[in-house]
Structure 1
Amino acid sequence: MSVFPTARLHDKVVLVTGASSGIGAAAAKLFAQAGANVVLAARRAEKLADVQAACQEANKAGSTGHGGHCAAVSLDMRNTESLDTVLQRLPSWASTVDVLVNNAGLAMGTAKVGEIRAEDLDAMLETNVRGLIYMSQLFVREFKQRNAGHIINIGSVAGVEPYPGGSVYCATKFAVRAFTEALMKELVGTPIRVTNVQPGMVETEFSLVRYYGDKDAADKVYHGIEALTPHDIAEEIVWAASRPARVNIAEAGPFHVARSS
C-alpha cells in the first residue's frame, strides 16, 4: 500500500458489488487494508464469508488502526426487489456509504449474432447495464443529499475495442462507458466523483462463467500469456478512490496484458 497514500480512505465506507470473487474480492481486501469499512455485496452469499474473513485479516495486516468493519449483503443485480432494499439492509455503521464500486458483471458464451441465446442476452444486459444503472441511481440520490460520494464503475477494454463473439458483452461495456461519462458530466458541478476503470484480460472466474463452467475452455483463454491479476485492477480502483477530493479520475485504462509468458 506504500505506492499511494491511503489516509484519505480511513474509516470511509465502501460498498463493492460482485465481491464474492475476482476483482471485486481483491478490491474489497485492498480497501480494508487501507483502513476503510467494507460492505461486500454479491449474489453468491455463500462465497462472501471467506472474502469477509480475508477483509478482516487484511485490515489487521494494514495496521492503520482505522476501519475494521466488514459485512456481507446478498444482492442479485437482476432482481429489482433485491436492489430496491439494499440500502435498508446495510448495517448501522454503513448507513452512509462513501464509495460505490459497481463491479458486478459477466459474459455468457461466445456465440455470434444470430446464434446468441436469449437467456445469455438477458443475463448480460440486466447485470452489466440495468443493474449497474439501478445501483448508480440509488446512490446518486444519496450522494446528492450529502453533496459527497464516489461511484467507480468497472468497464472493460471491450467497451473500447469490440471483438467477434462478444457482441453483446462489448455492447454492455460500451453502455457502461457512455453512462459513466454522461453521469460524470451531469455531476460536474458537484463534489461527487465518477470513475470508469477498464481492465483488459484478467485471470478470474470470468472465462469460467463465459464457458458455462468448462474449465478446459476457460484455461485456454489464458494459455501462453501472463494475464493481469485481480490485484492489479484493485490497485487502480483504490488509487482512484484515494485521490484528493478535488481530483476526479474520469477514466483509467484500458489496461492490457503487458507481455507473453
Structure 2
Amino acid sequence: MSTAEPLRPQLRPPWLAPLVDNLDRVPGVFRRRLPAEVLAALSGVGAPSSRDAAVLVLFSGPPEHPAGQVPDDSDLLLLVRAGTLRHHAGQAAFPGGAVDPDDAGPVHTALREASEETGIDPARLHPLATLDRMFIPPSGFHVVPVLAYSADPGPVTVVNESETAAVARIPLRALVNPANRLMVYHPAAGPRFAGPAFRLNDMLVWGFTGHVISAMLDVAGWAQPWDTQDVRELNDATELVGDDSEESV
C-alpha cells in the first residue's frame, strides 16, 4: 500500500448500489438531527489542533443480490476502542486512525489502520468511495470515511489490546432491526443532543459512528420505522448491552 489506492465504485454489488450511488446525500442526512451548536462545532473552523484521519466503512456480503434488499449474510465491520485510550475510550467505532506522513491519502490511511487494528487483509477489500471530511470536536480530528466492499474479507480479530477491546462483523439485519434502535445522549450534554444509536449483543453504537450508520441506512433505503422517542442517557443505554430480554443480533 505504498501508493494511493484507486476508488472503484463499479465493483459494488447491486444491493449496495443505492448507497454508493447516493453517497453525496449522507452528510446532509447526518446533519439533519444535529442542533445548531453541534453543526457549528462540526465545521471545524478555528480548530488549530485538528489532525487528519480516516476510517474504514466496510460492508461485506454476496456479490449478487437484488438492490433494495439487505442480504441476510451481509455485515458491517466495527470495533470497540480500548477503555484506556485518550479519546473515545470504550466506544464502538469504525476501524481507522490518524494519517501518517507516508500515507498516500485517506484510502491508504483507512486500509492501513484497519489492518493494524483488526488484522484484515487489505488485498481482499475494494475501496468504493469517500465521504466528505467531517470534524469530530472531542478528539479534534478531521475524519474522512472510506466506503469499501468485500465479498469475503476473511477473519478479523483484536491485534493490539491496548488499542482495541473487540472486533466484530455486525450483521446488517441487526442494524436495520427497529428493536435495536434508540436515541442516546451523553450526560454532560443532555437530551437535546441525543443522536441515533444501536444496541447490539456486545456493544452500544452511538455518537459519530451511530450518526453515520443511521444516515447510510436512510440513504440506502434500508431503514425501517423505529421509535425515535426512545431517548436514553448513555449510562442507561449501556446497561442494555447484553440484556437478553431485549432484541439484539
> What is the TM-score with the length of structure 1 in the denominator?
0.27
Query: Of Structure 1 and Structure 2, which has the larger fraction of its residues in helix?
Result: 1
User: Whose RCO is larger (CA < 8 A, sep 6+)?
Assistant: 2
Query: Of Structure 1 and Structure 2, which has the larger fraction of its residues in strand?
Result: 2
